[in-house]
Amino acid sequence: MKKNNKLEINALYRQDPLVADRLLWGRRSNGLSRRGFLKNSGLVAMTTALGMGIPFSRFMPAGLIPAAYAADNAPTQITEKSGLIVLNDRPLNAETPAHLLDDAVTPNRYMFIRNNGLPPGNINSESWRLRIEGESCENATSFSIADLRSRFEEVTLELQLECGGNGRNEFSPAASGNQWTTGAVGCPSFTGVRLRDVLNYCGVKRDAVYVGYFGADSHTSGDPTRVAISRGVPIAKALERESLIAWAMNGEDIPLQNGYPLRMVCAGWPGSVSGKWLNRIVVRDRVHDGEKMTAPSYSVPITAVAPGSRVPNADMRTIESMPVKSLVTFPQSGINHELGQRLTVRGHAWAGDNQVSSVFISIDFGATWLPSSVQAASNRLAWQNWESWVQFPEAGYYEVWARAMDDLGRSQPMVVPGWNPRGYLNNACHRVAVQVV
């Protein structure tokens, strides 16, 4: 399949999935069901394009682009990274192809990059300072990294981070922002000190409501008076045992694009609350009012809205705990597999502040589901690894779907969830294409 054809098909589905179905395959939806409309000429058109039959075509949902047509942009060389795909270069934003996230602990070279500003230059970690202050801080204090390491208990935890806009490219109509597919997620091991130990050392007043951060990154406009981003979390989240001030990732200095030499890590919430190039933390007696703390940034409608709607900021809520989600990291989408042989399928699953209770896989477009084996998390707020196998009944085109459920019984939707203006929180099932020959 030619790359240009893939890009054109992706563009059509982003504009209007049902119209794309009609134009590409002659398939029409009657509006009553999302299943069973790939018939006759439409089925012939799709099987011709794929070069093989689709054994479970009768279950294939309408308006869903086949996983085989997913855009496959070429990776770009980035210092300290390998295989990442750049979505924006100012500021730098780059995602990791799903198959490169197969490690139980995400290597530094595969950790995605989500920047709002430009990283500082000429960093001297020995002279770096972190100041703790604010209306609800008893004793404003400045620390060097050496101070943090000598005064507080050192902690190493595996912590999962995901951009709130991960999966944005599946929303229709298209939402503004970086068009992430599935790769704005990772779970490295972070080393640092607990944020709560540092806050308690400085004194947290009883009226404390929020903790906000500031970093040394500069605004892309070059205006030194403008802040690129300054977000944060409620005091209860800041005081969790897993919230860290970190200086190392996987036993090495944090890569520059991931926040060297110091960052905040508050896992399970949008990655934007985990401030990078950290040089100031404020303990607030109100909800933090820093840059990108107010709607529509990192906010979704309080109630469901029609796709394409204009939503007043007053009708939006700030994203907190992320939804349950899973990722297939093996096999790589688009592989050929020999008929009669078992295929191992594995990946990761996570659920914001909660735990994953189960992961199911399907090879018939979600008509039936098979359970997988799910490992316990290495520690709270780490992702959980899962594995299973499938065997295909006949040759042809298949998609392996993964669907996770959390410990509260909440499950991933099979298709893109409720539309929102900024394209946040897409936790639809991850799908990979397999050609059985």
- The C-alpha atoms of residue 132 and residue 101 are separated, in whole angstroms, by 35
Residue reference for tokens 């944020």: 195
Whole-number pLDDT of residue 60:
87
- The C-alpha atoms of residue 75 and residue 113 are separated, in whole angstroms, by 13
What does residue 111 show for φ and ψ, rounded to 5 degrees? -75, 130
Residue 419 CB coordination number (10 Å): 19
What does residue 205 show for φ and ψ, rounded to 5 degrees? -70, 160
Residue reference for tokens 């990078």: 276
- The C-alpha atoms of residue 302 and residue 427 are separated, in whole angstroms, by 17
**Domains along the chain with CATH numbers:** 3-69 (no CATH), 103-301 (3.90.420.10), 325-436 (2.60.40.650)
- Closest of 370, 363, 365 to residue 38, by C-alpha: 365
Q: Distances in Å between the alpha carbon of 278 and those of 230, 262, 268, 301, 405?
A: 10, 5, 19, 30, 34
> CB within 8 A of 149, min separation 6: which ones?
193, 247
Whole-number pLDDT of residue 1:
52
Whole-number pLDDT of residue 41:
75
Is pTM beyond 0.75? Reply is yes
- The C-alpha atoms of residue 298 and residue 293 are separated, in whole angstroms, by 7
Query: Terminus-to-terminus CA distance in the chain, angstroms?
Result: 17
Which amino acid type is present at position 186?
Answer: G
Whole-number pLDDT of residue 34:
47
- Closest of 179, 349, 385, 353 to residue 270, by C-alpha: 353
Ordered per-residue pLDDT tens for the chain, 437 residues: 555 567 678 778 877 887 887 888 876 655 434 455 566 677 888 888 888 999 998 898 888 888 988 766 778 889 899 999 999 999 999 999 999 999 999 999 999 999 999 999 999 999 999 999 999 999 999 999 999 999 999 999 999 999 999 999 999 999 989 999 999 999 999 999 999 999 999 999 999 999 999 999 999 999 999 999 999 999 999 999 999 999 999 999 999 999 999 999 999 999 999 999 999 999 999 999 999 999 999 999 999 999 999 999 999 999 999 999 999 999 999 999 999 999 999 999 999 999 999 999 999 999 999 999 999 999 999 999 999 999 999 999 999 999 999 999 999 999 899 999 999 999 999 999 999 99
Q: Do the beta carbons of residue 270 and residue 298 sit within 8 Å?
A: yes
Give the DSSP letter of residue 238. Answer: H
Whole-number pLDDT of residue 3:
56
Q: Specify the pairing of strand 278-284 against strand 129-133.
A: parallel
The C-alpha torsion from 196 through 200 and 201 to 207, rounded to 10°, is 130
Tokens of 369: 């589901």
Q: Do the beta carbons of residue 270 and residue 350 sit within 8 Å?
A: no
- The C-alpha atoms of residue 130 and residue 140 are separated, in whole angstroms, by 11
- Closest of 366, 431, 416 to residue 63, by C-alpha: 416
Residue 267 pairs in a beta bridge with none
